[in-house]
Structure formats: C-alpha cells, structure tokens
C-alpha cells in the first residue's frame, strides 16, 4: 500500500466518524434539553414571540428537517445563527479561531519541548534522583487544574512582578497588520506571524509577551502526560534488541539514543500528540477564560452565559471537525514515518 492509498483509506474511515460526531452534537444540543429555544429565555415569554424567534433560527421545523438543514449548512460552511443577534456563527468562529490557533501552537511547542526532553532525560538516568524528580514534576503538572496554574502565573508574574500582561492579546488598536503589497493583503490572524510579515519587530515582541503566560500555563499542564509517555516509551525502546545490536556495532551513543531509540519511541508518542490535541482544545477553553484571551474557548464560555445554544452547537461542531482533521494529519504523518504501517 502506498502512502496515498493509505491516506485515502483513512479518509474514508474518517467520514463516518465525523458523521457520528455531528449527529451526537445535534442530539445533545437540539434533542436533549427538549426545546433549546424556550430554554434560552429564562422567564416566560409570549408564545407569538417564541414562534417568531424559532422561525428566524429554523428551530420550528420538524427535527428530521432540522437535521438535514444542519448537515447541508455545514457543507457550505454555515455553522448556524446566534440566538443573541441572529448573526452567523461562522463569522465569529473564523475571527476567533486564529487566536486559539496561535495559543495552541505555542502551547504545543512548550508541551513537546518540556515533555519529550524531560522524558528522554528521565529514561536515560533510570531510577536516579533526576528520574524521580522529573516524574514527580510530571504528575504534579498533570494534577494541577489549568485555571489554578494560570491564576498563580498571573498572580506571580503579572501582578506581583509586572513582568507580563495579565490578559488579553494585544494593545487595542495597534494589532499586527500583516503584509500589504499594493492590492495584495496577507494576514494570517496569528499576531506573531503577522508582525513578521509586517516587518515590525516591536509588535512581534509585544505579541510574544502576551502569548507567553497563557502558552506556558497550558503547555506545562499538558506536558505532564507527555513526560510520562516519553519516559515509558524510551525505557521500553532502550531495552529492545535492536538498540543493543546497534551498540554492538559500535555506533555512537548519541546515534543510538536519538536515531534508534527515540526515533522508534517517537511513533507512539506522535499518536498521543494527536490525541492530546483534543485535550489541548479543552484546556484552551479554560486558559482563554482566565487570560481573557479572545479565542474560540472564550467565545464558547461567553455563549454559555448568554444561553446561546445554537452558537454553542456551532462552536462544538467546529471543535469536532478540527480534531478529526488533525487526527487525520497525524495518522498520515505516522504512516509516513513508520514504514511498517504502509508496506
């Protein structure tokens, strides 16, 4: 099987999964509470107004029709309308997404750096003090709720030491603008990238400053699992025959650890990374809330307080699709790296 046919097969598998997810979300939001429309209004409301409200949102149609509309809409990129102001949810999603993406990327970088490096180090010095301290750190990092760590970070670094800002993403009004060449305008929505595109180093520094605490918080909490996983995988791999055989051929220790052990241990770690992405999104929700980071997570939480159920549905669906795409990408990468899967 070549890589291409593997990807195609995998894609075909993803589609029913996505369908299941979409249906699940639909059931949860539309069917579970009974009538999301009346739930939206805390007090009693004039039945006439309620009907009109439902009509505006398409909630008056029979459930099967709603389901089909929902699916058809998604194909067009329509994630529904907000209950608050009937604006298209997709607009909000796509404007809030880059913020979450940027946070996710930097958190992942920290998570991988901390997790893999510490895990590999721990495995090399099995049962030593270094090993034990790293493991304890990993457990502590995992057990701390991300919002608590965030608060501690804010308290210590932002409020007490005034080193980093306590929230938000940037100074209002002077956000990075991206690249403008005559009529061509390129803007990614990722402030770090846009600052580079704009050629403005001070804005780059500024966006990094705002980014630092949230991604450090999220990255650290997630690295806990990573440390354990890397360490366990490395320990197992280092014991394997081909590692001893490699040493018996006189290969340098560095080659053995990184080219043989880590390279093979990395494969399951990579899958875990794909799964962790889902956890990352979950953690992002809380992190964005504490740091007032204007991303999808905070949008979701906002919508909850407004009882905007259709918007909630839209965001949750988006999350699901995102995770599905990422796991597809990760699986493809895995297949590329591990020839055993495709041959």
Partner 1 sequence: MSSEKPQGRILIWFLPALTGLVRRGLAGWAILIGSAIVAVVGVITVVSPWISPYDPIAINVGPILSPPSFEFPLGTNHLGQDMLSRVYSGGAIMFQVAILSVIVCLVVGVPVGLYASYAGGHIDQLASFVMDSIYAFPGLVLAIAIAAMLGPGVVNMALSIAVVYVPSYFRIIRSQVLTIKELPYVEAARMMGAKGSAILLSYILPNVIASIAAIATINFADAVLTAAGLTFVGLGLPVSTPNWGWDLTYGRQLLTSGAWWVITFPGLMVVLLALGFTLMGEGLSELLNPRLQK
Partner 2 sequence: MPLLDIQSLVVEYRTPKANVKAVDRVSLSVEKGHTLGLVGESGCGKSTLGLSIVRLVPPPGRIVSGQITLDGINVVRCSNEKIRRVRGKRVGYIFQDPMTSLNPVKKIRDHFVEMINTHEPGVSREDALKRASDMLQNLGILPERIDDFPHQFSGGMRQRVMIGLALALNPDLLIADEPTTSLDVIVEAQIIELLKHLKEALDLTLVLITHNIGIVAETADRVAVMYAGRIAELGEIGDLFEKPMHPYTKALLNSVPNITKKDQILSWIPGAPPDLADVPPGCLYHPRCPFVFDRCKNEGPQLLKHDNSMVACHLYDKR
Which residues 115-134 are close enough to bind partner 2 by CB under 8 A? 126
CB 38, CB 307: distance < 8 Å: no
Task: Decide which of partner 1, partner 2, none touches 50; Cβ closer than 5 to 8 Å per partner kind.
Answer: none
CB of 233 to partner 2, least distance (A): 14
DSSP state of 261: I
Does residue 254 touch partner 2 according to CB under 8 A? Answer: no
Task: Decide which of partner 2, partner 1, none touches 139; Cβ closer than 5 to 8 Å per partner kind.
Answer: partner 1
DSSP 48-77: HHHHHHHHHHTTTS-HHHHHHHHHHHHHHT
- The residues near 64 (Cβ < 8 Å, ≥ 6 apart) are none
CB of 128 to partner 2, least distance (A): 12
Is the Cβ of residue 220 or residue 233 nearer to partner 2 in the bound state? 233
Does residue 246 touch partner 2 according to CB under 8 A? Answer: yes
The binding site for partner 1 (CB under 8 A) comprises 16-17, 20-21, 24-25, 28-29, 32-33, 36, 132, 135, 139-140, 142-148, 151, 154-155, 159, 166, 228, 232, 235-236, 239, 275, 278-283, 285-286, 289-290, 300-301, 304-305, 309, 312-313, 316, 319-320, 323-324, 327
CB 216, CB 113: distance < 8 Å: no
Give 181's strand partners. Answer: 184
d(CA 225, CA 21): 26
Is the Cβ of residue 160 or residue 343 nearer to partner 2 in the bound state? 343
Q: Which of 164, 260, 291, 309 binds partner 2 (CB under 8 A)?
A: 260
Around Cβ 23, how many Cβ atoms within 10 Å? 13
Task: Decide which of partner 1, partner 2, none touches 253; Cβ closer than 5 to 8 Å per partner kind.
Answer: partner 2
CA proximity to 272, closest of 146, 112, 131: 112
d(CA 287, CA 269): 24
Task: Decide which of partner 1, partner 2, none touches 240; Cβ closer than 5 to 8 Å per partner kind.
Answer: partner 2
Does residue 1 touch partner 2 according to CB under 8 A? Answer: no
CB of 282 to partner 1, least distance (A): 3
d(CA 241, CA 26): 50
Task: Decide which of partner 2, partner 1, none touches 118; Cβ closer than 5 to 8 Å per partner kind.
Answer: none
Does residue 152 touch partner 2 according to CB under 8 A? Answer: no
CB 115, CB 273: distance < 8 Å: no
Does residue 249 touch partner 2 according to CB under 8 A? Answer: yes
DSSP 139-164: HHHHHS-HHHHHHHHIIIIIIIS--S
Burial class (CB in 10 A: 0-12, 13-18, 19+), 224: buried
Is the Cβ of residue 199 or residue 339 nearer to partner 2 in the bound state? 339
User: Which residues of the chain form beta strands (DSSP E)?
Assistant: 179-181, 184-186
Does residue 27 touch partner 2 according to CB under 8 A? Answer: no
Does residue 241 touch partner 2 according to CB under 8 A? Answer: yes
- Which residues of this chain interact with partner 2, rule CB under 8 A? 126, 239-242, 244-253, 255, 259-260, 263-264, 267, 337-340, 343
């Amino acid at each position: 099987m070549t890589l291409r046919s593997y990807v195609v097969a995998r894609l075909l598998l993803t589609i029913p999964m996505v369908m299941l997810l979409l249906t699940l979300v639909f059931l949860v939001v539309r069917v579970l509470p009974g009538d999301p429309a009346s739930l939206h209004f805390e007090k009693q409301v004039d039945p006439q107004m309620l009907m009109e409200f439902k009509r505006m949102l398409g909630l008056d149609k029979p459930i099967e029709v709603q389901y089909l509309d929902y699916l058809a809409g998604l194909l067009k990129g329509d994630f529904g309308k907000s209950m608050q102001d009937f604006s298209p949810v997709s607009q909000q999603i796509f404007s809030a997404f880059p913020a979450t993406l940027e946070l996710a990327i930097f958190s992942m970088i920290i998570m991988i750096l901390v997790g893999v490096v510490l895990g590999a180090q721990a495995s090399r010095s099995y049962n030593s003090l270094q090993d034990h301290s790293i493991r304890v750190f990993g457990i502590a990092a995992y057990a701390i709720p991300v919002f608590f760590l965030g608060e501690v970070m804010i308290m210590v670094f932002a409020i007490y030491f005034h080193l980093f800002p306590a929230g938000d993403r940037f100074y209002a009004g002077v956000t990075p603008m991206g690249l403008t060449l005559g009529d061509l305008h390129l803007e990614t929505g990722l402030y770090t990238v846009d600052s580079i595109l704009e050629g403005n180093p001070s804005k780059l520094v500024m966006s990094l400053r705002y980014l630092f605490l949230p991604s450090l918080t999220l990255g650290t909490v997630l690295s806990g699992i990573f440390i354990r996983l890397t360490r366990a995988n490395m320990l197992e791999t280092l014991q394997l025959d081909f590692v001893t055989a490699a040493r018996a051929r006189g290969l340098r220790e560095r080659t053995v650890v990184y080219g043989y052990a880590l390279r093979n241990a990395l494969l399951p770690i990579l899958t875990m990374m794909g799964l962790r992405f889902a956890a990352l999104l979950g953690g992002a929700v809380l992190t964005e809330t504490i740091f007032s980071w204007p991303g999808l997570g905070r949008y979701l939480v906002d919508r909850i307080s407004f009882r905007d159920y259709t918007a909630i549905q839209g965001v949750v669906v988006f999350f699901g699709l995102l995770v599905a795409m990422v796991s597809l990408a990760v699986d493809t990468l895995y297949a590329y790296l591990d020839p055993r899967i495709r041959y």
